[in-house]
Structure 1
Amino acid sequence: MSAAAPDSNADIHALLAFYAEAGVDEALDDVPANRFEERAPQPRPGAQPAGEDPGHRPQAQKQAPPPTTPPAARPPAQPAAVPDGQQIAFARELAASASTLDELRERMAGFDGCNLKLTAKNLVFADGNPEASIMFVGEAPGRDEDIEGKPFVGRSGQLLDRMLKAIDLDRSKVYIANVIPWRPPGNRAPTPQETEICRPFIERQIELVGPKILVHLGGASAKTLLNTTEGILRLRGNWRVYSGPSGIGIPAMPTLHPAYLLRTPAHKRLAWRDFLEAKMKLRSLS
């Protein structure tokens, strides 16, 4: 039984919203195709055409083999853009050579060693005040962030803004970044290799900002930067110390990611406690 086609604007909007949430946000063909259209069945290869006498078949014509390109004329195969040890080392060199945030951004924009850059629309570097005393670090940008080139601008970002306002902060008083600066296709989780190749950039970013407090938004950020395997529900609400390559300790508070809170609103009370802890710690260090 074939699927029924959408018969109203509401149905079409709902279908498009479903595709967008699933990460299907780019056309694969210039000509639109109606996937709901019923089509006549195609004959199987080698099947007898209708009305033809099976005893009389025309002699098959010989076809010339397709022309082949001489091996010397073929373009050299391009290696797959998969992060490896050499690219990770190159990322460390680039990050260490940046003396300012602007230089770091330029080096990241020119870095082609991470395959995520090939599918992302924009580099999502940071947002907020680079001189802020508190820095928030998430995992990776989503669709809205990829389009605008800024972290946390979608539904998760709107919730984060409300949470910041509740402790008397806004984006002019905080600095926000992600471990991964390029959107993984379809919003999939970054691979360990992708995370490792991007780690030097976020570590240098933290070093150049020099915040008094770090807040890790979600388990991925906390596990990567705090070098732990504990889950976020065990990590959250407990002060840790971020050391980084420089070894300078920064108080770090892991908390729940706003996207998780949108799916599990009952846990907003836990995040509220974490944000209050961060507010009191920031006040004590000022």
Structure 2
Amino acid sequence: MPENLRQELREALAQARGVLQDLDRLGLGALPMPPLVADPSICPPNVRGLDRGGMAPCRSETLDEIHADLGDCQRCPLAKRRHHIVFGVGAPRARLVLVGEGPGREEDERGEPFVGEAGRLLDRMLFAIGLERSEVYICNVIKCRPPGNRDPEPGEVAACRPFLERQLAAIAPEMILALGRVSSQSLLGDNTPISRLRGQWRDYQGIPLLPTYHPAYLLRNPAAKQEAWEDLKQVLKRLRGSG
């Protein structure tokens, strides 16, 4: 050790010894330690912030914690055929969350939602209102691909629902865009046809939710793109108004 560092160390030790001797003369044989405060527990999905309704303080769960808890999920039969769990992508504090139905073939292969043809259309829809994929959060009602891209069965939706609820609670977005019938009906608990649900703001646990058509539907029915555009303009208006 260089001599200059040895000298600095000796001086620091001498100062510390002097402080301890002064404290001892004052009758302070030990320094009081502040009480240890346990980390707050995680808030339930329908609670945001701290100390709601007399509850103990709690903290928001992180997306990484939820993903870790999901693990190599085997909670429903879809796990047997999947290639990848499709958890979700985007900004963890996004103002807007888009919720689709479930992974398709390309999504299952890559482990990312909306990367096929419908995903490319979704990217263009976002671009039309001045947003990029990285600025929003995108996920699905279910996280594993149903065989043949069929609609999810009630048991499959039920198995994934707690994780979707936790994702939405962790992000706490300003609004949700529900893409398609399955997403809209699942989040709202309403079996009204998507043609009647779309374009009408609803409420999901205190968060404004707007149902609209799924991009895959728009690819099959281009005439519906005008209605979807009207829905997107509503989202843009709210984003500007709250920004």
Map residues 192-207 of structure 1 onto 2, 5 A cutoff.
Answer: 192-207=154-169
Map residues 86-235 of structure 1 onto 2, 5 A cutoff.
Answer: 99-235=61-197
Unaligned stretches of 5+ residues in structure 2: 1-43, 48-59
Unaligned stretches of 5+ residues in structure 1: 1-92, 244-248
Report the Cα distance in structure 1 between the residues aligned to 2:102 and 2:89, rounded to whole angstroms. Answer: 14
1:115 counterpart letter in structure 2: P
Look up the match of 1:268.
225
Report the Cα distance in structure 1 between the residues aligned to 2:61 and 2:129, rounded to whole angstroms. Answer: 32
Report the Cα distance in structure 2 between the residues aligned to 1:113 and 1:150, rounded to whole angstroms. Answer: 20
Report the Cα distance in structure 1 between the residues aligned to 2:181 and 2:173, rounded to whole angstroms. Answer: 20
1:171-210 CA-to-partner distances (Å, cap 9, x unmatched) read 1211100010000112111111111111111011100011
Q: CA deviation at 1:221?
A: 0.4
Which structure has the highest helix share of the two?
Answer: 2
1:150 counterpart letter in structure 2: E
Partner SS, residue 282 of structure 1: helix
Report the Cα distance in structure 1 between the residues aligned to 2:139 and 2:107, rounded to whole angstroms. Answer: 11
1:138-193 CA-to-partner distances (Å, cap 9, x unmatched) read 01000000011000000000000001000000112111000100001121111111
Q: CA deviation at 1:258?
A: 0.2
Q: Is the 8 A contact 2:178 2:209 kept in 1?
A: yes
Report the Cα distance in structure 2 between the residues aligned to 1:143 and 1:132, rounded to whole angstroms. Answer: 26
TM-score, normalised on structure 1?
0.63
1:109-128 CA-to-partner distances (Å, cap 9, x unmatched) read 23322111111000101112
Please tell me whether residue 250 in structure 1 is matched to residue 207 in structure 2.
yes
Map residues 14-33 of structure 1 onto 2, 5 A cutoff.
Answer: none
1:209 counterpart letter in structure 2: I
Please tell me whether residue 280 in structure 1 is matched to residue 237 in structure 2.
yes
Report the Cα distance in structure 1 between the residues aligned to 2:218 and 2:87, rounded to whole angstroms. Answer: 24
Q: Is the 8 A contact 2:107 2:116 kept in 1?
A: yes
Aligned residues: 187
Q: CA deviation at 1:282?
A: 1.4
Q: Is the 8 A contact 1:109 1:123 kept in 2?
A: no
2:111 counterpart letter in structure 1: G
Q: Is the 8 A contact 1:214 1:250 kept in 2?
A: yes
Report the Cα distance in structure 2 between the residues aligned to 1:194 and 1:187, rounded to whole angstroms. Answer: 13
Q: Is the 8 A contact 1:136 1:214 kept in 2?
A: yes
Q: CA deviation at 1:261?
A: 0.2
Report the Cα distance in structure 2 between the residues aligned to 1:120 and 1:109, rounded to whole angstroms. Answer: 14
Partner SS, residue 172 of structure 1: helix
